[in-house]
Structure 1
Amino acid sequence: MSNETWSGPKRLRTSDTEREQIAGTLRAAMTEGRLTLEEGEERLAAAYAAKFRDELGPLTADLPDAGRRAPVETPELRRGLARHATVVLSITAILTGLWILSGAHFFWPIIPLFFLFMGLARHARRGHWEPRYSYQHRVAPWNR
């Protein structure tokens, strides 16, 4: 035995969730054309083979915003925004019709419509609908 005491591991081990998060970022970069198929496959293999967190960081370091999220506008996202706008406009028409039928002097639909249009504006600004407090979309600590 040596006189040195073990102070624990110097490196933190990575989890399957962290590996999957990096793999998702790499797949998105491949889809966007930021990585070639060969380079993407190499990085994916390295991500799944990684045992420690510090091995994952370099895999996305040269991607936009260190691989956190690259702005993407796809036809699917545009369709999602169009569907969201259609739902908001339909609800607007229904609430306005109910207001007319009720004969109320105060335009009470303004209250729910405010929140509906704020959600639509947020969707349009971000390009996709993402809950404000989602634990699934957290950025890994080594990518901050």
Structure 2
Amino acid sequence: MNDKELIDRPGPARTEDQLREQAVEELRKRRELAGHVLAYLTVNTFLVVIWYLTGAGFFWPVFPMFGWGIGLIFHAWDVLWPQPSETAVRSAMDRIARRK
């Protein structure tokens, strides 16, 4: 059994070091998401200021906001969406086994 399987496995097989490693990884992902949100807000605010200072015609900043926003949503989903529980995994395994 490799380290990844031990980390994702519930129960007594998980050591303190493995739990710490998983916690550090989750915190790193959240920090990266926060950086992504900050970059999104900073750059798009700058684009809106440029739009405003150049005459405030057609609101062209909507295009990068929309495109980048889709990527930001997927990043947030990856970080914040809960991973499947062990029960859900076992249920899916049973369902797959019954099909064969």
Q: Give me the TM-score of the superposition, normalised by structure 1.
A: 0.42
- Asked if the contact 2:51–2:59 (Cα under 8 Å) also holds between the matched residues in 1, the reply is yes
Output the CA distance in 2 between the equivalents of 1:84 and 1:34: 36
Code of the residue aligned with 2:2 in structure 1: it is: A
Distance change (3 Å), C-alpha of 1:86 and 1:104: same
The separation in 1 between residues aligned to 2:12 and 2:46, in whole angstroms, is: 45
For residues 117 and 34 of structure 1, what CA distance do their matches in structure 2 show? 41
Structure whose residues are more often helix by fraction: 2
The alignment-based identity, stated in percent, is: 32
Unaligned runs of 5+ in 2: 19-24, 81-95
Match of 2:2 among 23, 41, 44: 23
Which SS does the other structure have where 2:2 is aligned? Answer: helix
Cα distance per residue 1:59-85 (max 9 Å; x no partner): xxxxxxxxxxxxxx8221211110110
Residues 6 and 14, structure 2, Cα contact 8 Å, conserved in 1? no
Aligned length: 74
Choose which of 91, 96, 102 in structure 1 pairs with 2:43. 91
Q: Which runs of 5+ in 1 are unaligned?
A: 1-21, 41-72, 129-143
Which TM-score applies when normalising by structure 2? 0.58
Name the CA shift for 1:102/1:34 in 2 (closer, same or farther; >3 Å).
farther
Following TM superposition, the consecutive aligned residue runs of length 4 or more in structure 1 with deviations greater than 3 angstroms are: none
RMSD of the TM alignment (CA)? 3.1
Aligned letter for 2:78?
A: R
- 1:3-82 matches, within 5 Å, as 23=2, 25-26=4-5, 28-29=7-8, 35-37=13-15, 74-82=26-34
Give the drift of 1:34.
6.6
- Tell me: higher relative CO, structure 1 or 2? Use CA pairs within 8 A at least 6 residues apart: 2
